[in-house]
Structures are given as C-alpha cells and as structure tokens.
Structure 1
Amino acid sequence: MTDGAPFDDIDRDAVRAALREWYEDDHREFPWRETTDPYEILVSEVMSQQTQLGRVVEAWEAFLDRWPTAEALAEADRAAVVGFWTDHSLGYNNRAKYLHEAAQQVGDEFDGEFPQSPDRLQELMGVGPYTANAVASFAFNNGDAVVDTNVKRVLYRAFGVPDDDDAFEQRASELMPAGESRLWNNAIMELGGTACEQTPICDESGCPWREWCHAYQTGDFTAPDVPTQPSFKGSRRQFRGRVVRALSEHGELALDELGPRIRVDYTPEGDSGREWLRGLLEDLSEEGMVELSDRDGTTLARLQE
C-alpha cells in the first residue's frame, strides 16, 4: 500500500487529538478498564489471550471474587486454579499455572509489589513482552506502544505502514504521545476492535481518522494477513483441557480409566489409545501440570500439587 499521504506527512497532533476525543466520548466498557490494579489487569490480559472479551468479563469477575489479590492467588491450590481455567474454557491451562506462579513471585521476589516497567514485568512467569507492556501501560501508565493485530490493521490501512513487524513497532511508537500509554493504547486498540475490524464500519462508528485514512479515501480495505486460529473442537488443546478436568474431578487415574473420560473413541491399543494419551500426559508433565507415576506396570496420572 503506497498511495495516499505517507506516514511522515500526517499532522500527528491532529491525529492524536482526534483519537483521544473519539475514545473519551464513547467506548466499550470493560471492568478492567476501570482499575489500575496490576494484578487485576494481569488477570484480564492472560484471560483475553484466547477468549472473546465479552466472555472474559464473567470469568474475570468470578476469578477475582475467588482470589481477589495476588497474595490470595499465591496461597491457592494450583489444581483449583487450573480447574477454574478449564471450567471457564479460557484456553491453554498452562496459563493458569503460570499466573499462579507469577502471583507467588510477586510475594517472594518483589515483596508483594508488582514491578512497574515492561522489562521487570517480564521476569514474572508466563509474562511475555506484549503482556508486560500492557500491564505497564494500563496499571502504571508506563508502557510502550502496544502492537497487536488490531493496531497493525489500523496502521496499515490508515497510514500505509508496511506489513512488517519492525515497521509497525516503529510507527506505533512514533505515534503514541509521551506519557500517555494508558489512554493511547486503550484507544487505538478500541479503534481496531470496533471501527476498523476485518469488515470496517468507518462512518457508523464515527472513525476519527477518516480524514487521513488511505483505506477510507481509496476504498481499499486490504489488511495484513492474520493467522487462522485452529479449530478448538477435536484439537489437542481441547483434550488437554479434558484431562485436567477429569483429574480434577476424579483424582489419580490409570491411563485406561482416564482415556474413556476424555474421548469416546478411546481404545487402549488404537491410534487414540494409550500411546496417544501418554504423549499428551508427558507434555502436561513437562509443563508441571500433571504428575505421572508407575505402579505395578500401570501408568497413573494426577494433577501436580
């Protein structure tokens, strides 16, 4: 995308002011946008990684009702945390494990206080660059420009930023006003998540960047390629969740007791049998989710405590 005004020629002050006004006038209300508590924001960010935001609200509120602080989560039984994650279909269960370990780190390594910079936040278990930056931005107003799929789509369409990660990072950083990471990152992600979705609704949403937007002016709403999320039904991820749920409900189980509980076509010697199940359990064991043992030649599985 090369036609239209180049990024360097836009009036950045006007672009920034337009987005601020649009966001502050009207935006989706999510409870984690009403808090600056880093624990509550971290929980929302981890939950949102594979779950639609509308569904996250109920799970987020229930999670905080049960474990309202990082200290409470750190003291919780890990199996209960993982079981909650499974019951609410929140994606990979190892994220629950890492969240539990991160809460313990806050108490053990940071004297109960969350680190505030993106670099220090990445010292917490399971917290990568994106999540660290989001927590730094929304809890401490101390982050860099967030660059997710929504932001890439906006920058590509509006200002012709090339479909290149380094280019997106550079341009997003140049556009974000200094010291405004909380408001700015919320606003630009809101723009991409509402007005500038795969099928944009520019006029209906009152998109604040129509005046400068290349896509709006040309009608070319091409967007960067987005990896397709594999189907959950029948996936390895689904069976992992079933394993965790079954072990949470029944405690220690032998392979041939566990197998039929997670798939109806389980046959001990078949393609979906013991060897397949053992591989699934070994992956979970390496992640610290499941503990395997042998008793009288029989492999037993239970949740890691």
Structure 2
Amino acid sequence: MTDSDGAAAGEGAVGDGAEGGSETADGDEVTPELPADRDAVRDALVDWYEADHREFPWRRTEDPYEILVSEVMSQQTQLDRVVPAWEDFLDEWPTAAALADADRADVVAFWSDHSLGYNNRAKYLHEAAGQVEEEYDGAFPEDPDELSELMGVGPYTANAVASFAFNNGDAVVDTNVKRVLYRAFAEIHNADDPDYETVANALMPAGESRVWNNAIMELGGVACGKKPRCDEAGCPWREWCHAYQTGDFTAPDVPEQPSFEGSRRQFRGRIVRLLGEHDEMDIDALGHRIRVDYAPDGEHGREWLRGLVADLADDGLIEADDGEDGAVVSLRR
C-alpha cells in the first residue's frame, strides 16, 4: 500500500549497502527504506495509474490558477463536492486576473454558498490572485518556494501546484501517501520516527512529479485507504508490500484494533448471552461458565468478574443483587 516497495517485504525488501545511503552502479542512492528494484516499483505504479484512474477535471489541466483553486477547495472537503464548486468557480472567475478584479465579498459569498468551509480560504485565494497580477505580471511562479510566497499557500499546496502545473515539484507527502509508505515498507513501519519526505523523494522518478504524485495519491485514495482494497483495486505494489505480505494494515491514521479474543468485550458478550438463557445466575457459577480458568480468588476471579458486571449494569443491560449467599446476576428486563 503506500510507500513503495520493492522486493517482498518478508525477504530482503532492501538492497545491499542500504545502511549508509550508498550508491548503486548507476549512481542511484540506496537508502534503508527503499527496495533494490525501485524502477520496477515506479513503473508498476505509473502503469496502474495511467491504465485507469478517477477522472477529476483538474487532472486534465496544467493551468496553475485552475490547479491552485482545486487544491485550496480540496482542503478538508470531499472531492465529489469539490468538482461542481470548482467548475462553478471557474465559470465565474476563469482566470487569476478575473478573480483579482472581483469583489472579495462576492468570492466569500460563493465559498459559503457552496459549503466549502473556512471562508478565510476564499479571502486568501482572492489575495493570491492579486499578487500574481501585481507582483508577477500575471504569470504564476513555477518554483515551490516562490509559490509559497502567495497568500494562504503553504508548502504542501505550493508543491502540489508546482508538480501538477509545471512538473517541477518534490514528492507530495499527505496523509494518504504516508499511509501507503508506512504499509508498504517494513523499514518505515518499524521506525520510531519515519522520514517520509526523504523516502518519498528518493522513490519519485526525477522530473516526473506530475504523474508520480497523481499516481501515489490515487493509490492511497483508491487501493490503500483506511480500509484497504488491495485485490479489488488491483494494487500494483502487492508483491512488494509489507502490509500485504504480513496482513498488518495498521498505519499512522489507522490504529491497530485491539484483539477480540480474550478481551473484556468478549467476556461481556458471553455474560449477556448466558443470562439470556437463564433467569439469573450466581456470580461464581457465571464465572465458571464464561472462562475455564475462573477461580473466585484468582487473577480472573470475583473481583475481575464484578468489574465486568458493574460495567454492564452501568450500561443498563444487567442487574446484580448482593444477598446472604453472594451476588446474583440477571438481565435487566
């Protein structure tokens, strides 16, 4: 899933000489995080993307203004809602010059009417258009550092515009890309502080930021989401991916699910099912029925069981009455 790979995760996913960032015979630097056969990894991803991908309209343009509008609108907004808003916005203000000449109140009103959130983005976009016209004579800067000088354009957005408009960016590293890289590489997965940007840039083919960033973001959005769809989406990195080989699909934004076997959830469920079959049960009889190692005075004994019972009682599911012969537990009717 994301993060490219090379060599099956279980067996030598990294080439020799990786430790010191040495170079291969062709001068390609080898890092601990990258597979030896990175060309195969690159080709597999680009071929997969070019064969079939989601058709967003901003992927069909290299106009930096149109791409900037799409990037700003896409911040924390679902892409299916961005498409009609983007098209309407460009119908209203088709160029940076047109936007710069617009009344800012109209731009903010458009933003609000289309539920794009955070109206200050509209203000910044309007001001950025003015900067392009006044400071750059109507021609967008092509370098990420210069693009970052535009109002409201941070490093990520600047790099995206440089990549998609001018093919002049670094590797994009967003949440989706981090998820891909984390899952695909055992070395990143196991690192305490993974260096995503270094790895992503070392993996990206030189001078191909446009297609590469579109492709790896597509991989994270289509095949390697929080719920992976490796086979359904035909993920091109399955043969190299650590997650696919091991079945461990955790990621920074996908925490590991606690095991159900032996969990409190499992025993709470057993208690409710048993009480559904009996009017009431003595707490020790209940304990012996829900786990074979139950011992009243043991680690998993009355104190442990009373904690489960108390939780279920707080949830309004059962009742517990303490009598002379000990606690009796029943379902709440």
TM-score of the aligned structures, taking structure 1 as reference length: 0.72
Contact 1:81 1:97 in 2 (8 A): yes
Partner of 1:54: 80
In the alignment, does 2:109 pair up with 1:67?
A: no
**Post-superposition CA distance 1:11-68 (Å, at most 9, x none):** 1000000001100000000000000000000000000002101110000000000000
Check conservation: 1:44, 1:60, Cα contact below 8 A. yes
* Residues 166, 8 of structure 1: alpha-carbon distance in 2 compared, 3 angstrom cutoff: closer
Give every structure 1 segment of 4 or more consecutive aligned residues whose post-TM-superposition deviation is greater than 2 Å: 3-10, 162-166
Q: Establish whether residue 126 from structure 1 lines up as the match of residue 173 from structure 2.
A: no
The match for 2:214 among 183, 186, 194 is 186
Of 77, 81, 85, 2:103 maps to: 77
CA contact 2:226–2:254 (8 Å) conserved in 1: no
Give the Cα–Cα distance (whole angstroms) in 1 for the partners of residues 159 and 194 of structure 2: 16
Which protein, 1 or 2, shows the higher relative CO under an 8 Å CA cutoff with sep ≥ 6?
A: 2
1:87 correspondence with 2:113: yes
Larger Cα-atom Rg:
2
- The aligned residue for residue 140 of structure 1 is 166
Pairwise mapping of residues 192-271 of structure 1 onto structure 2 (< 5 A)? Answer: 192-225=220-253
Question: 8 Å contact 2:62–2:165 — kept in the other structure?
Answer: yes
15, 21, 26: which one aligns with 2:41? 15
Q: Is the CA contact (8 Å cut-off) linking 1:149 and 1:226 kept in structure 2? A: no
Report the Cα offset of residue 166 of structure 1.
6.1
Q: Does 1:167 align with 2:173?
A: no
Give me the whole-angstrom Cα distance separating, in 2, the residues matched to 1:75 and 1:165. Answer: 46
Q: Pairwise CA RMSD of aligned residues?
A: 1.5
Of 122, 127, 135, 1:96 maps to: 122
Q: Which residue among 59, 63, 70 is the counterpart of 1:33?
A: 59
Check conservation: 2:34, 2:199, Cα contact below 8 A: no
Tell me what 1:115 maps to: 141
2: CA distance between counterparts of 1:71 and 1:94? 20
The letter of the residue matching 2:53 is H
Alpha-carbon shift at residue 10 of structure 1 (Å): 3.7
Note if contact 1:10-1:212 (Cα within 8 Å) is conserved in structure 2: no
Deviation at 1:178, TM superposition (A): 0.1
1:126 is paired with a residue of what secondary structure? coil
Distance 1:21 1:125 in 2: 36
Q: Which is worse superposed, 216-225 or 121-130?
A: 216-225
What is the rounded CA distance, in whole Å, between the counterparts of 2:94 and 2:178 in structure 1? Answer: 34
Instruction: Select between 7-16 and 209-218 the one with higher mean Cα deviation.
Output: 7-16
Residue 300 of structure 1 corresponds to none
SS in 2 for 1:146: coil
Size of the alignment, in residue pairs? 225
For 1:220 and 1:123, the matched residues in 2 are separated by 41
Shift of 1:226: 6.7
Instruction: Give the partner amino acid of 1:172.
Output: A
* Conserved 8 A contact 1:47-1:90: yes
Matched residue type, 1:29: E
- Cα deviation code 1:207-255 (max 9, x no counterpart): 000000010011110111379xxxxxxxxxxxxxxxxxxxxxxxxxxxx
Q: Once the 2 structures are TM-superposed, how far is the Cα of residue 165 of structure 1 from its aligned partner? A: 7.1
Unaligned runs of 5+ in 1: 228-305
Distance 1:218 1:66 in 2: 51
Per-residue CA distance 1:236-279 (angstroms, 9 max, x = gap): xxxxxxxxxxxxxxxxxxxxxxxxxxxxxxxxxxxxxxxxxxxx
The TM-score with structure 2 as length reference comes to 0.66
Consecutive unaligned residues of structure 2, counting only runs of 5 or more, are 1-8, 15-32, 256-333
